[in-house]
């Protein structure tokens, strides 16, 4: 019995060691997002609370915690309260398989990519549940839009992941990174990287695809009826998802924790730092795009997903597999 308690304590310690940095970095990333947005528009952005305004998000969080949580009288209470919890839990649970270096990973499972894909496809439930349980028309419309959008873009993300997996021959995230030691997949699969990036924008409901919360049409989409800490949880979940998508992009295409070139002065930088730098680079692009690209129209969004990205990534899949087959480069498994 003592053994179990010890193992359990050990696991909880490891989970906290992963979760606390993620929550802190989500807070920092919100600051970075607003700061980049401000600088692009020649404003200063948040710069008052703490050094460079770094503590702005903490101040906001404190404000949310002390606000009253209002539950609409006609809402389905259980589902209404469950929705932000589901969103936030799913966004944090996915981080269990992300390897920060060869040793630094909470659970190194065989089907890591599938796990990430499954968890990100479950993310749609938080939104649908929140939109439906509010029992109000704007949240419902926003939720339906968002669900259709996320389901459509998952299809192309899936095919892009298959492209990468063909070059690796394993579903383990560690193997995917180690397969990029000679050449990052961003070079041979550059079109796929671009499509992955755009699909990740759509999957996380970021501008220019933030139609579920298009202010002019739907107030605040599925979040309209939420207030206080429950709204903050949606918001935290959204940013944790964005960070997750950045981590996924850097593992699949930018070589994860691998340094740019494996020569002396560069490769002494520890592996997790490289991973974090790559995630930050991708997030910087996310933030920049939020500031410079206008919002898409809904039919344009659907057309882009189904009529352009899906056929293109399917054709690229055929090209990749025929290239690998013709030059006999298909990965040989160890069986």
Given the rule CB under 8 A, which residues bind other proteins? Answer: 4, 79, 109-111, 114-115, 117-118, 121-122, 124-125, 128, 132, 140, 144, 147, 151, 154, 171, 299, 303, 333-335
Least distance to other proteins from the beta carbon of 307, Å? 10
Question: CA-CA distance, 328 to 318, in Å (whole number)?
Answer: 15
Specify the residue, 125 or 284, whose C-beta has the smaller distance to other proteins: 125
CB-based contacts of 284, cutoff 8 Å, min separation 6: 32, 36
Of the candidates 90, 274, 102, the residue with the CA atom closest to the CA atom of residue 176: 102
Residue placing its CB nearer to other proteins in the complex, 151 or 187: 151
- Measured from the CB atom, the residue of 28 and 155 that comes closer to other proteins is 155
In the complex with other proteins, the residue whose CB is nearer, 122 or 229, is 122
212 with 142: CB under 8 angstroms? yes
Return the sign of the alpha-carbon dihedral for residues 196, 200, 202, 203: positive
CA proximity to 214, closest of 330, 287, 296 = 296
Structure tokens at 111: 């089907």
Q: How far is the CB of 122 from other proteins (least distance, A)?
A: 6
Work out how close the CB of 285 gets to other proteins at its nearest, in angstroms, rounded to a whole number: 26
Q: Which residue has the tokens 């709204």?
A: 231
Q: For residue 306, with 0-12 CB atoms within 10 Å meaning exposed, 13-18 middle and 19 or more buried, which class applies?
A: middle
Q: Work out the widest C-alpha separation in the chain, in whole angstroms.
A: 65
Q: Which residue has the tokens 């101040």?
A: 59
Burial pattern 126-141, b for ≥16 Cβ within 10 A else e, equals bbbbbbbbbbbebbbb
Neighbours of 84 (CB within 10 A): 23
Tokens describing residue 127: 């939104």
Min dist CB 181 to other proteins, Å, is 22
> Shortest Cβ distance from residue 286 to other proteins (Å)?
23
Report in angstroms how near the CB of residue 32 gets to other proteins at its nearest: 30
Looking at the Cβ atoms of 66 and 335, the one nearer to other proteins is: 335
Q: How many helices (H) and strands (E) does the chain have?
A: 14, 0
- Minimum Å gap between C-beta 256 and other proteins is 20
- By the 8 A CB rule, do 149 and 130 touch? no
CB of 117 to other proteins, least distance (A): 6
Specify the residue, 55 or 113, whose C-beta has the smaller distance to other proteins: 113
Least distance CB 118 / other proteins (angstroms): 4
Name the residue nearer to other proteins (CB basis): 14 or 303.
303
**Under a CB-based contact definition with an 8 Å cutoff, are residues 295 and 263 in contact?**
no
Q: Which of 154/225 has CB closer to other proteins?
A: 154
Contact 72, 136 (CB under 8 A): yes
Residue 264 or 335 with smaller CB distance to other proteins: 335
Asked if residue 179 lies in contact with residue 228, where contact means CB atoms within 8 angstroms, the answer is no
């Amino acid at each position: 019995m003592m053994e179990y308690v010890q193992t359990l304590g050990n696991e909880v310690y490891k989970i906290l060691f992963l979760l606390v940095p993620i929550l802190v970095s989500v807070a920092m990333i919100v600051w970075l997002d607003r700061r980049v947005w401000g600088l692009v528009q020649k404003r200063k952005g948040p710069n008052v609370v703490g050094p460079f305004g770094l503590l702005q998000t903490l101040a906001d969080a404190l404000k949310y915690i002390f606000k009253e949580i209002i539950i609409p009288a006609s809402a389905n209470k259980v589902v209404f309260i469950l929705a932000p919890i589901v969103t936030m839990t799913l966004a944090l649970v996915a981080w269990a398989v992300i390897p920060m270096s060869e040793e630094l990973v909470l659970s190194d499972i065989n089907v890591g990519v599938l796990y990430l894909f499954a968890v990100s496809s479950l993310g749609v439930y938080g939104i649908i549940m929140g939109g439906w349980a509010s029992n109000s028309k704007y949240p419902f419309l926003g939720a339906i839009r968002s669900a259709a959008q996320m389901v459509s873009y998952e299809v192309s993300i899936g095919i892009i992941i298959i492209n990468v997996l063909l070059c690796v021959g394993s579903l383990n995230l560690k193997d995917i990174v180690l397969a990029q030691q000679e050449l990052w997949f961003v070079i041979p699969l550059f079109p796929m990287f671009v499509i992955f990036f755009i699909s990740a924008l759509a999957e996380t409901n970021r501008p220019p695809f933030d139609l579920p919360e298009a202010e002019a049409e739907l107030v605040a989409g599925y979040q309209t009826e939420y207030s206080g800490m429950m709204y903050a949880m949606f918001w935290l979940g959204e940013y944790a998802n964005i960070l997750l998508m950045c981590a996924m992009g850097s593992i699949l295409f930018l070589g994860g924790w691998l340094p740019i070139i494996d020569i002396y002065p560069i490769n002494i930088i520890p592996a997790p730092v490289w991973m974090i730098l790559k995630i930050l680079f991708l997030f910087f692009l996310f933030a920049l795009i939020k500031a410079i690209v206008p919002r898409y129209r809904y039919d344009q969004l659907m057309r882009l997903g189904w009529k352009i990205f899906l056929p293109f990534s399917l054709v690229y899949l055929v090209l990749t597999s025929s290239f690998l087959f013709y030059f006999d480069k298909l990965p040989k498994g160890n069986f």
